[in-house]
Amino acid sequence: MHTKPGAPRRPLFTTDSLASATVTVQFEGERISVPAGVSIAAALLLKEAQPFRTTPVSQSPRAPYCMMGVCFECLVEVDGKPSRQACLTTVREGMVIRRQQGASALGCAAEAAGHGR
């Protein structure tokens, strides 16, 4: 659907629509109410919950940068699974989100498969 040049565009979200539909998630052990239908990154940024992760080597804090899945600065742990891109993952009721501290446990998976010897 095309609009005429100069015609006002309808916003994707309005303040009222964000306030009316919410879900409850758990972030770092605290239950928080966030807008339904938004990414984890957007929801946590609305709650000013930064940093999202730390780097493996220097433990430098990181937060979302590109918001489109390219930079990997927004990695979090979701429902016990590490290295989830918060900018590409939509919030859902009951989701458990934690900051990712350093590298995920990828080495443990290799050891379990017999490749870590």
H-assigned helices in 1-117: 15-20, 40-46, 106-112
Q: Residues 105, 82: contact at Cβ < 8 Å?
A: yes
- Residue 21: pLDDT band (50, 70, 90) is very high
Going by the DSSP 8-state scheme, the letter that residue 90 receives in this structure is B
Q: Could you report the per-residue pLDDT of 51-94, keeping only the tens digit for each?
A: 999 999 999 999 999 999 999 999 999 999 999 999 999 999 99
| CB crowding 25-60: b at 16 or more within 10 Å, else e | bebeeeebebbbbbbbbbbbbeeebeebbbeeeeee
- Judged by DSSP in three states, 77 sits in strand
> Which element (helix H / strand E) includes 87?
none
